[in-house]
Amino acid sequence: MNKSERVFPWILAAPVLVSALCFFILPYISALSAPFRGAFSGGGRGGVPKALENPALFGVTLFTLKQALLSTLAALALGLPGAWLLGGLTDSPSRAKRGFALLIRTLTGIPFAMPPILVVLAFVLFFGNNGWANRLIMAAAGVPEGPLRILYKPSAVILAHSFYNFPLVIRVAGDGIAQARRAYAPAAASLGASPFITAVTVILPICLPSIMAASLLAFLYCFTSFAVVLVLGGGPAVTTLAVEIYRYARLSLDFQSAGVLALIETLIALTVFLAYVFFNRGGKFSNRQGPKGPGDAWAAVSQDPKEFPMEGKEHSRLGAGVIFIYGAVLLFFVLGPLFSIPAESLLSRSTWSALPRLSLRHWLSLGERVLPALGRSLILASLSATLASFLAILAASSARIASPASPLGNILRLASLSPLASSGIVLALGWLSLYGRGEDGAGNSRSLLAVVILHAVIALPFAFNSVSQGLRSIPPNTANAASVLGAGPFLRILTVEIPISLRRLRSAWAFSAVISLGELNAILMLGMDQWETLPLLIYRAVGSYRYGPACAAGTLLLLASAAAFLVSEISGPGTKTAGAFHGN
451-508 pLDDT per residue, tens: 899 999 999 998 898 888 877 777 666 666 655 555 566 666 666 677 777 788 888 8
Q: What is the pLDDT of residue 353?
A: 60
* Separation of alpha carbons 125 and 233, rounded Å: 16
Beta bridge partners of 357: 348
Q: What's the distance, Cα to Cα, between the start and end of the chain in Å?
A: 46
Degrees, nearest 5: CA angle 218-222-224: 120
Alpha-carbon 451 to chain mean position: 19
Give the pLDDT of residue 105: 67
Among 199-203, 337-341, 508-512, 517-521, name the one with the lowest average pLDDT.
199-203
* pLDDT higher than threshold 60 for residue 443: no
Query: For 402-442, where are the alpha helices, taking DSSP H only?
Result: 408-417, 424-435
pLDDT of residue 40: 44
Residue 143: pLDDT above 70?
yes
Residue 306 pLDDT? 37
Q: Can you give the pLDDT at residue 480?
A: 60
Which of residues 357 and 19 earns the better pLDDT score?
19
Question: 357-358 and 347-348 as β-strands: parallel, antiparallel, unpaired?
Answer: antiparallel
Nearest to 64 by CA among 268, 256, 211: 268
Residue 199 has a pLDDT of 77
d(CA 206, CA 566): 33
* 541: DSSP letter: H
Q: Which helix (H) or strand (E) holds 188?
A: helix 154-190
Closest CA to 394 of 1, 6, 3, 18: 18
- pLDDT per position as a tens digit, 81-109: 877 777 666 666 667 666 666 666 666 66
Beta carbons within 8 Å of 146's beta carbon, 6+ residues apart: 129, 130, 131, 133, 134, 135, 137, 138
Torsion angle of the four alpha carbons 289, 202, 87, 120, in this order, in degrees rounded to the nearest 10 = -110
Between 563 and 377, name the one with better pLDDT: 377
Band the pLDDT of 378: cuts 50, 70, 90. very high
Nearest-angstrom CA–CA distance, 56 and 348: 42
**Residue 269 or 498, more confident:** 269
> Which residues make beta-bridge pairs with 347?
358
Residue 16: is its pLDDT beyond 50?
yes
Most confident among 33-37, 283-287, 403-407 (mean pLDDT): 33-37
Cα-Cα-Cα-Cα torsion 328, 333, 337, 338, nearest 10 degrees, comes to -70
- The lowest-confidence range among 25-29, 149-153, 522-526 is 149-153
Per residue in 298-331, pLDDT (tens digit) is 333 333 333 334 444 444 566 566 777 777 777 7
Number of Cβ within 10 Å of residue 277's Cβ equals 14
Better-scored residue on pLDDT, 17 or 234: 17
Lowest mean pLDDT, pick from 238-252, 378-392, 563-577: 563-577
Instruction: List the one residue out of 332, 122, 376 whose CA is nearest residue 228.
Output: 122
Average pLDDT over residues 380-386: 93
Distance CA 101, CA 96 (A): 9
In this predicted structure, which of 50-59, 136-145, 189-198, 524-533 has the lowest mean pLDDT? 50-59
Q: Could you tell me what percent of the chain has a pLDDT over 90? A: 10
Mean pLDDT of the chain: 76
**pLDDT tens string 185-244:** 778 777 777 777 877 788 788 888 888 888 898 899 889 888 888 888 766 778 899 999
| Pick from 484, 458, 170: nearest CA to 329 | 170
The predicted model gives 357-366 an average pLDDT of 79
pLDDT the model gives residue 67: 92
Query: Could you write out the three-class secondary structure of 128-142?
Result: CCCCHHHHHHHHHHC
Most confident option among 68-77, 280-289, 485-494: 68-77
Q: What was the pLDDT predicted at 68?
A: 93
Which range has the worst mean pLDDT, 73-87, 262-276, 279-293?
279-293
- The per-residue pLDDT for 382 is 92
- Which string of DSSP letters, residue by residue, matches 282-344? HT---GGGS-SSHHHHHHHHHT-TTT-GGGSHHHHHHHHHHHHHHHHHHIIIIIHHHHHHHHH
CA–CA distances in Å: residue 295 to residues 181, 290, 478, 491: 10, 11, 30, 41
Domains of the chain, CATH where assigned: 1-33+362-584 (1.10.3720.10), 56-295+303-345 (1.10.3720.10)
Model-wide pTM > 0.85: no
